[in-house]
């Protein structure tokens, strides 16, 4: 695994625990790679890795390494992923797929070539593995809410609300690619595509940076990414989705809200109530209608049968365990993992279109070719 900060910690937790709950092929946590030798060694010991290194290039050449998990900042994704795939390693990379559309296209092309030789790859949109959202996808596919007309997706955080919050790599275009757009809009957009099994044809958007300079090591430094973004997406089916994201929404810690409205019903999800899905059945008489709460904790629900007795809730970290489970299962079976790098590229094209539209003051952007729909389920949907 390459990177040991926030995502490295989350992924390590999943690697440590997945075999205790799911039937997966045996594996070893061989080596953790980081830029700081002492930091990587300490994290490796803490997170269950046998060894540590500061040189990812030498690690991916090792014959005892079969899988590379990339949790490094976005500007490193393309170089590492392409090299690892060329070395015959299965690759899992955190979202968004890359910092730029060109990088994402090169990664997707490398993944397709590697896939022909049996080498697998997957992008880590972990919210596909929230049991309640996996259930929502099933209900939509079953026609329980009819034809989807529109979707509202809002992902709001406030960790940058304070203008004195210090500079970091996430606030620089050269390392992060974009701000709230790539960081959290990528999740919201992927959910729209995942839930509806659809693709986007038109995009309009706006981005804004509220705090343009933040304290850094050399005094005030310029913020070169967005703090918030808004987009309207037209889908091939005729449905319309609105997407709103912010990292300066005071009081919102990690709030992903999804509302899906069809002609026969509606679904509502809030990440802060991760184990619940709200469902309205508009086919019953009006006097009986109303959103009902589904507590997604039954063995019949996606992923749940591996965990606890009914009513014992899961947490955010379980989504990564499900992700690692699905990736290992795909490698073992030979099935193509989902979301693929092509699915990540589909999201990247939409992110690029939002930026293009924002630069043109909200102009409507036609996507040059239909974005490939992430229509494939995780290999264990309904597991």
Structure token digits, residue 70: 């990339």
Task: Provide the percentage of residues in the chain whose pLDDT is more than 70.
Answer: 96
Hey, CA dihedral for 358, 360, 363, 368, is it positive or negative? negative
What angle do helix axes 101-116 and 341-359 make, rounded to 10 degrees? 170
Question: What DSSP element (H or E) covers 353?
Answer: helix 341-359
Cα–Cα distance, 77 to 95 (Å, whole number): 9
pLDDT digits (tens, 9 = 90+) for 320-333: 999 999 999 999 99
Answer for the pair 359, 205: CB distance below 8 angstroms, yes or no.
no
Residue 382 pLDDT class (50, 70, 90 cuts): very low
Candidates 3.30.360.10, 3.40.50.720, 3.40.50.10880, 3.40.50.11540; CATH matching 131-315+339-366: 3.30.360.10
Cα–Cα distance, 130 to 275 (Å, whole number): 8
Q: Which residues pair with 256 in a beta bridge?
A: 155
Cα–Cα distance, 24 to 325 (Å, whole number): 7
pLDDT digits (tens, 9 = 90+) for 21-67: 999 999 999 999 999 999 999 999 999 999 999 999 999 999 999 99
Closest CA to 53 of 68, 27, 35: 35
Q: What are phi and psi of 206, to 5 degrees?
A: -145, 145
Place of tokens 């690892």: 84
Contacts of 161 (CB under 8 A, 6+ apart): 247, 248, 249, 250
Domain 6-126 CATH assignment equals 3.40.50.720: yes
**Residue intervals in the chain for CATH 3.40.50.720:** 6-126
Question: What DSSP element (H or E) covers 92?
Answer: strand 90-94
pLDDT digits (tens, 9 = 90+) for 176-228: 999 999 999 999 999 999 999 999 999 999 999 999 999 999 899 999 999 99
Residue 369 pLDDT class (50, 70, 90 cuts): low
CA neighbours within 13 Å on the CB side: how many for 191?
Answer: 32
Closest CA to 327 of 86, 15, 5: 15
For all residues of the chain together, what is the average pLDDT?
95
Cα–Cα distance, 161 to 258 (Å, whole number): 23
Q: Give the pLDDT mean for 103-124.
A: 98
DSSP state, 293? E
**Residue intervals in the chain for CATH 3.30.360.10:** 131-315+339-366
Answer for the pair 229, 181: CB distance below 8 angstroms, yes or no.
yes
Q: Give the pLDDT mean for 75-99.
A: 98
Cα–Cα distance, 194 to 258 (Å, whole number): 12
Q: Is 115 helix (H, G, I), strand (E, B) or coil?
A: helix
Task: Provide the percentage of residues in the chain whose pLDDT is more than 90.
Answer: 96
Cα–Cα distance, 184 to 156 (Å, whole number): 8
Structure token digits, residue 5: 């900060």
Residue 371 has pLDDT above 50, yes or no: no
Residue 347 pLDDT class (50, 70, 90 cuts): very high
- Cα distances (Å, whole numbers) of residue 264 to 164, 236, 240: 48, 20, 17
Residue 377 pLDDT class (50, 70, 90 cuts): very low
């Amino acid at each position: 695994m390459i990177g040991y900060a926030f995502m490295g910690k989350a992924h390590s937790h999943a690697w440590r625990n997945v075999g205790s709950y799911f039937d997966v092929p045996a594996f070893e946590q061989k080596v953790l790679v980081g830029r700081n030798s002492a930091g990587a060694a300490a994290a490796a010991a803490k997170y269950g890795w046998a060894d540590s290194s500061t040189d990812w290039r030498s690690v991916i050449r090792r014959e005892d390494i079969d899988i590379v998990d990339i949790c490094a900042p976005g500007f490193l994704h393309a170089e590492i992923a392409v090299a690892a795939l060329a070395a015959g390693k299965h690759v899992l990379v955190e979202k968004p797929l890359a910092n730029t559309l060109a990088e994402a296209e090169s990664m997707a092309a490398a993944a397709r070539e590697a896939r022909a030789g049996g080498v697998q790859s997957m992008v880590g949109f972990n919210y596909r593995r929230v049991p309640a959202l996996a259930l929502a996808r099933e209900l939509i596919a079953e026609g329980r809410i009819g034809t989807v007309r529109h979707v509202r997706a809002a992902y709001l955080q406030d960790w940058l609300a304070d203008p004195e919050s210090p500079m970091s790599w996430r606030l620089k275009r050269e390392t992060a690619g974009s701000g709230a757009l790539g960081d959290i809009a990528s999740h919201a957009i992927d959910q729209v595509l995942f839930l509806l099994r659809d693709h986007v044809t038109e995009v309009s958007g706006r981005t804004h940076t509220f705090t343009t300079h933040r304290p850094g090591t050399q005094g005030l430094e310029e913020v070169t990414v967005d703090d918030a973004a808004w987009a309207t997406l037209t889908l091939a089916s005729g449905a319309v989705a609105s997407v709103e994201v912010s990292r300066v929404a005071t009081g919102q810690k990690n709030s992903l809200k999804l509302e899906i409205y069809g002609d026969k019903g509606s679904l509502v999800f809030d990440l802060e109530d991760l184990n619940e899905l709200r469902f309205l059945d508009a086919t019953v008489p009006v006097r009986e209608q109303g959103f009902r709460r589904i507590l997604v904790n039954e063995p019949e629900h996606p992923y749940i049968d591996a965990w606890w007795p009914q009513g014992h809730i899961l947490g955010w970290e379980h989504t990564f365990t499900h992700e690692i489970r699905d990736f290992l299962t795909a490698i073992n079976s030979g099935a193509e993992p989902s979301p693929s790098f092509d699915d990540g590229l589909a999201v990247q094209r939409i992110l690029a279109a939002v930026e293009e539209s924002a630069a043109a003051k909200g102009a409507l952007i036609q996507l040059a070719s239909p974005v490939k729909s992430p229509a494939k389920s995780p290999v264990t949907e309904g597991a």
